[in-house]
Amino acid sequence: MASSSTSDAKQIKVLVRCRPILEHERSHSTDSIYLEKESGLIRLNTRQGNTKEFTFDNVFDGASTQELVYEKGEFSRTVEAVVKGFNSTVFAYGQTGTGKTFTMEGKQDIQKRKEGAGEGPSKSSDVGVIPRIIHELFDRAKKKHGDEVKFSCSFVQIYMEQSYDLLQADMGRLRSARNNRPSSSRKPALSSRLKLRWCKEKEFYLENMSVFDCETPDDMLHRFARGVGNRKIASHRLNMQSSRSHSIFMVNVDMPSEAAPGDRIKSSLMLVDLAGSERVGHTGSNSKKELLRESVFINQSLFALRKVITNLASKRRHVHIPFRDSTLTSLLKNSLGGNAFTTMVACLTPSDTFYEENLCTLEYASRASSIVNQMTVREDPKTKLIRELKQRVKVLEAELVRYKSGLVPAAVTAGHSANALPQQPVVASTPAAASVPSSSATDYEEMAVETQNVNEALMVENADLREQLRFIQAIVTMEDGEGGAEASSSKKDLHTVETAILMELFELRRENEAMRETIQRLEFGSTSHKRHQGGTRRMKKQTSHGKVGRSSQKKGMLTVEQLRSMFSVGGSSNNVMDSLGTSMRVTTTGNILDAGSYEEEDDESARPANVEANGMDPVEQLSELLAERSALMEGNTR
Ligand SMILES: Nc1ncnc2c1ncn2[C@@H]1O[C@H](COP(=O)(O)OP(=O)(O)OP(=O)(O)O)[C@@H](O)[C@H]1O
């Protein structure tokens, strides 16, 4: 079976849009930006005569229509990527009032449109990227997959590092409608706070975020309009301005896989309108304590975003990417330097009063355009593992046939392919096409050195994580000292971050351990291979566990239990918490439960990938083949 896990390296696409000068700005500012649409040149001018030049793929001036931005900005490619199964992101970045919301949502007051039969969202020329993308996505996905494709959406906003569900109020509304409660009680709940969680499969995600199925583009746009309305109400209740929060509209597409008939693939599209950055001085007389606090949070998360962009764009190797520094960067982890097809829309104001802000936006846009994402189709982990195991079984069957016919000398593969299973899945479409890996002493040495390099990189990341952990612990200790309700709530958040980091730390340690074992196996394989060839060269690097590893590895054999534990998802996470001795437990999906609410996992869910639909267990099948092969090898050497 062909692999459906395709991947493609793509740079982040950056568009720059400068809005027209607004009526109220004419009296105190002049147009300070020169744009050349054809060449993509942007020149910033100041009254003092300073100039700075940048070049981008696409630049749009104040006269550019929404339609032109959508077409020339190639948002159809975003749609195409989502329909192919790649995650995608579009995010608007820029100073307050530069037209981010105008570009993403459009000019019309979208939340004022009524829900109801026949009254679909406006398709006027003023609509922004989000409504256009949704229409095109439904069109193209339905054309390709018919009724087999399913859509759903969620809508969240991040305000002062807290995430709020903008569609949870709809659930409240539905419930109260069902209970025939008066319409006055159908108000959006502010209990819509969401917790940021982490698990290995999904990485960062928002727990209990509401997800709504949508049959048509208008269904989805009504949800979107509802969320925009709720954002306004929530803004009012929280005494904030909507523009001072980040909003993320998430579209999920679930469709049949073309590469693996019978399987399904899922892709998601994140449409992000970021809060505007601004200098505190520009908030004028309004810059009271609360506004200042808001600004600190906005700038903090935008600072984290800029740091992530800077580090990702850095040419230095093994540089730490601080995704965990804010809720926003945690949620955008896959969009920046991850596996998504990402478009950044950098928004500018033409007013020369904001030269510094425009310059800052263009500098980050320029850095972002050099970031490369490795796009991958998201495949169900169980399906992926079963597919890989099936491929492995085919390879081993072919190998066995060759052994039986005496074509391959046993020593050639001693200690190699069996042990390489988790690290090096071999892809072969048919048994005939499967070839026995040819190995030489040099191959082994190169692999060992390469593995050692990866190991070292992981150790550096470990050290970074430890450093962060110490920093967080120091803050928690400080908060302990300060006390107060506010302190305890932020302390709780820090504990969540801390737990996420501890979990990742454990995973990294586990990976380190696995790497070390691989090196030992490679050394063992190489030494036995060289002994067989009568070679005298020794491996360059030895690990401290070398001897134990060798004696415990009998001809590179793995038991069924060892294989299971290597592929078990849930077990390891619980071990993390046990070994850390914390009062929390982690379920197979990574949800963190209090000790009191801990639930035992059933065996089935703890063994997600071991049993196929036909009842065969690929792991056992594999183990039997390995045992048979080993016996044959022994026979051959004798
Ligand atoms: N391309 C454009 N053409 C005409 N008017 C525009 C354009 N872009 C923005 N505007 C107008 O500029 C004003 C500010 O735009 P908008 O609210 O979209 O900015 P923003 O960057 O989202 O601000 P904030 O960060 O505060 O949310 C609005 O009145 C909007 O209608």
Average pLDDT, integer, range 352-364: 86
Q: Is 347 in the pocket of ligand 1 (CB under 6 A)?
A: yes
- Pairwise pLDDT comparison (194 vs 181), residue with the higher score: 194
**pLDDT the model gives residue 294:** 64
Is ipTM beyond 0.85?
Answer: yes
Domain boundaries in the chain?
8-108+127-170+191-381
User: Which pLDDT band, with edges at 50, 70 and 90, does 596 fall under?
Assistant: very low
Query: What confidence tens digit (pLDDT) does each residue in 311-333 have?
Result: 888 777 777 888 888 899 999 88
Short-list 509, 550, 238, 613, CA closest to 414: 550
State which of 23, 69, 101, 283 you would mutate to test the pocket of ligand 1, scoring each by most atoms of that ligand within 8 A of its C-beta.
Answer: 101
**pLDDT the model gives residue 408:** 56
Q: Is 94 in the pocket of ligand 1 (CB under 6 A)?
A: yes
Q: Phi, psi at residue 347, to the nearest 5°?
A: -105, 140
CA of 134 to the centre of ligand 1 (A): 21
Q: How far apart are CA 256 and CA 378, in angstroms?
A: 12
Query: What confidence tens digit (pLDDT) does each residue in 406-456 have?
Result: 665 444 443 443 333 333 323 333 333 333 344 455 556 666 666 666 666
Residue whose CA is at the smallest distance from ligand 1 atom 15: 99
What is residue 590's DSSP assignment? -
Q: Is 376 annotated as a binding residue?
A: no
Q: How far apart are CA 56 and CA 371, in angstroms?
A: 14
- 3-state helix vs strand vs coil in the chain, percent to 5: 50, 20, 35
- Global pTM? 0.59
Q: How far apart are CA 320 and CA 308, in angstroms?
A: 9
Which two three-digit tokens encode residue 472? 């967080």
Residue given tokens 């903090």 in the structure block: 300
Q: Is 284 annotated as a binding residue?
A: no
> Does the structure show a pLDDT above 50 at 469?
yes
Q: Is 322 in the pocket of ligand 1 (CB under 6 A)?
A: no
Cβ–Cβ contacts within 10 Å for residue 631, how many? 11
Question: How far is the CA of 375 from the CAs of 85, 519, 565, in angstroms?
Answer: 10, 29, 29
Query: What confidence tens digit (pLDDT) does each residue in 27-85 have?
Result: 766 667 888 888 889 988 776 777 888 999 899 999 999 999 999 999 999 999 999 88
Report the range of poorest mean pLDDT among 345-354, 505-514, 549-558.
Answer: 549-558
Question: How far is the CA of 300 from the CAs of 198, 242, 295, 304, 305, in angstroms?
Answer: 21, 17, 8, 6, 9
Residue whose CA is at the smallest distance from ligand 1 atom 23: 97
Which of left, alpha, beta for 555 (phi over 0: left; psi -120 to 50: alpha)? Answer: left
66 CA: nearest ligand 1 atom = 1
**pLDDT the model gives residue 334:** 80
> Does the structure show a pLDDT above 90 at 518?
no
Maximum separation of any 2 CA atoms in the chain, in Å: 95
Q: How far apart are CA 537 and CA 412, in angstroms?
A: 18
Question: How far is the CA of 493 from the CAs of 194, 432, 474, 476, 497, in angstroms?
Answer: 11, 55, 14, 10, 6
Amino acid at 64: S
**pLDDT the model gives residue 135:** 96
Q: Is 100 in the pocket of ligand 1 (CB under 6 A)?
A: yes
Average pLDDT, integer, range 106-110: 65
CATH architecture of the domain 8-108+127-170+191-381 equals: 3-Layer(aba) Sandwich (3.40)
Taking the CA of residue 293 as centre, how many other CA atoms within 13 Å lie in the half-sphere pointing to its CB? 8
Q: Is 282 in the pocket of ligand 1 (CB under 6 A)?
A: no
Query: What confidence tens digit (pLDDT) does each residue in 249-266 have?
Result: 999 999 998 777 788 888
Amino acid at 201: E
CA of 88 to the centre of ligand 1 (A): 24
Average pLDDT score over the chain: 67
State which of 15, 19, 299 you would mutate to test the pocket of ligand 1, scoring each by most atoms of that ligand within 8 A of its C-beta.
Answer: 19
User: Which pLDDT band, with edges at 50, 70 and 90, does 100 fall under?
Assistant: very high
- Report the percentage of the chain scoring pLDDT > 70: 48
Q: Is 106 in the pocket of ligand 1 (CB under 6 A)?
A: no
- Pairwise pLDDT comparison (494 vs 373), residue with the higher score: 373
